[in-house]
């Protein structure tokens, strides 16, 4: 495809493939799918990937939404493997990811396509994602990256007062409502299925970034997100384990070894700053965070079935953790990560790097899209 074809006008309506990964989320599917069917953009295919649900999700979609393509997996492949199954079926020039507990505004896809068609150098687009409750509270306006490669959602828990109403470059998109150019995915590869869940979108962002693809935040592309309780919230052992293990795998894949070792300092500072959040008796000081702990959210979090659980995670508790549990879970994660050091270090050699040496590009990206401890503290360790 030449440059003129890639700059085709919006009236050409390039096909967009929207992928929704589902595991026993039948009660969330109707509003999610209806929001996609109500899109003003005319050329959309919807792909539901079901991770072996037992709640009748597949039958429900077959009966109610014949226009939706259903990919029924024989087992739970997690967020990473589930989306990869969708990527394999996607025919669109662009691929959008939407959580099953999220709703897209009617012009969500149209706004993203508009920017994608105007800027061929952009491989990823980030949406403005708000929480459904409390109203007008931001979940994400794209991601920032901390020196130990922890990614956080920019603007999370802030009231949306228009402070993020201008388009700007961000490190990457938030996976609950992400948008990719298929050409970029075909070049750098899809999600790494070994991650199963958590940090897989960070890994994909790094690969796209190092290959020279840009990411733009589109404030007019709006989605609302109920709450991603697949891992039990910010203080669960499940989230802590996968988040730390996969973060370290990202270190192995993208940083020079001396920078891997140097990341220990920022990691310890980050965990120390978050110690109050991870304690079972801790209370979130942010007034907006307290709002999110309303009875409605708590009811949802307690009722929603754990979505992307692997056998490896079944021994991990989803409740607030004691200091001992935190240390034990971190030790398990770090041990599991370092045992795979040779394997993930070898994957580093397959990463495409353009625009300079790996070291130069990593330092440039960390400087340009860096997050500080204050950013980490503001979101109180709660994400996705």
Global pTM reads 0.83
DSSP 3-state percent helix, strand, coil across the chain (nearest 5): 45, 20, 40
Is pLDDT above 60 for 228?
Answer: no
Clarify whether residues 243 and 213 are in a common domain.
no
Clarify whether residues 164 and 269 are in a common domain.
no
- pLDDT tens for residues 309-367? 443 334 344 445 677 888 898 999 999 999 999 999 999 988 999 989 999 999 999 99
Clarify whether residues 221 and 250 are in a common domain.
no
Check if the beta carbon of residue 109 is closer than 8 Å to that of residue 44: yes
For residue 274, being part of any structural domain is answered with yes
Give the residue from 190, 225, 260 where a domain finishes.
Answer: 225
Give the residue from 164, 191, 225 where a domain finishes.
Answer: 225
Residue 267's domain comprises: 237-355
Confidence of residue 203 (pLDDT cuts 50, 70, 90): very high
Looking up residue 79, the CATH number of its domain turns out to be: 3.90.550.10
- pLDDT tens for residues 68-85? 999 999 999 999 999 999
Structure tokens at 61: 């979609």
For residue 194, being part of any structural domain is answered with yes
Clarify whether residues 256 and 291 are in a common domain.
yes
Clarify whether residues 198 and 341 are in a common domain.
no
Structure tokens at 179: 């948008």
Structure tokens at 50: 């079901």
Structure tokens at 366: 């960390």
How many angstroms separate the CA atoms of 200 and 193, rounded?
Answer: 8
Structure tokens at 293: 């702990």
In angstroms, how far is the first alpha carbon of the chain from the final one? 36
Closest listed residue to residue 94, CA positions, set 59, 68, 76, 119: 119
pLDDT for the residue numbered 275: 65
């Amino acid at each position: 495809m030449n440059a003129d074809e890639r700059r085709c006008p919006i009236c050409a309506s390039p096909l967009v493939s929207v992928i929704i990964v589902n595991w026993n989320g039948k009660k969330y599917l109707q509003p999610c799918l209806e929001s996609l069917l109500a899109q003003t953009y005319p050329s959309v295919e919807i792909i539901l990937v079901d991770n072996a649900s037992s709640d009748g999700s597949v039958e429900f979609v077959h009966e109610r939404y014949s226009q939706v393509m259903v990919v029924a997996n024989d087992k739970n492949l997690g967020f990473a493997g589930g989306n990869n199954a969708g990527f394999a079926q996607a025919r669109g020039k662009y691929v959008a990811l939407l959580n099953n507990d999220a709703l897209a505004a009617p012009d969500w896809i149209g706004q993203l396509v508009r920017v994608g068609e105007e800027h061929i150098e952009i491989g990823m687009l980030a949406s403005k994602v708000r929480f459904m409750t409390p109203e007008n509270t931001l979940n994400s306006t794209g991601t920032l990256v901390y020196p130990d490669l922890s990614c956080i959602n920019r603007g999370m828990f802030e009231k949306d007062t228009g402070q993020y109403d201008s388009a700007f470059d961000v490190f990457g998109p938030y996976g609950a409502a992400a948008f990719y150019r298929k050409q970029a995915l075909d070049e750098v590869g899809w999600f790494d299925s070994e991650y199963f869940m958590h940090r897989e979108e960070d890994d994909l962002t790094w690969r796209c970034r190092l290959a020279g693809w840009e990411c733009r935040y589109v404030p007019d592309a709006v989605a609302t997100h109920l709450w991603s309780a697949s891992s039990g919230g910010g203080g669960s052992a499940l989230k802590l384990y996968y988040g730390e293990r996969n973060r370290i795998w990202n270190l192995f894949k993208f940083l020079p070894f001396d920078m891997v070792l140097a990341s220990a300092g920022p990691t310890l500072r980050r965990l120390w700053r978050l110690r109050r959040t991870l304690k079972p008796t801790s209370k979130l000081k942010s007034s907006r965070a307290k709002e999110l702990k309303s009875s409605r959210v708590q009811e949802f979090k307690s009722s929603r079935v754990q979505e992307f659980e692997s056998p490896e995670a079944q021994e991990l508790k989803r409740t607030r953790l004691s200091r001992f549990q935190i240390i034990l879970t971190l030790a398990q994660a770090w041990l599991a990560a370092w045992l795979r050091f040779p394997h993930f270090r070898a994957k580093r050699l397959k990463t495409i790097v353009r625009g300079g040496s790996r070291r130069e590009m990593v330092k440039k990206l960390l400087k340009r899209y860096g997050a500080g401890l204050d950013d980490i503290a503001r979101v109180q360790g709660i994400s996705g």
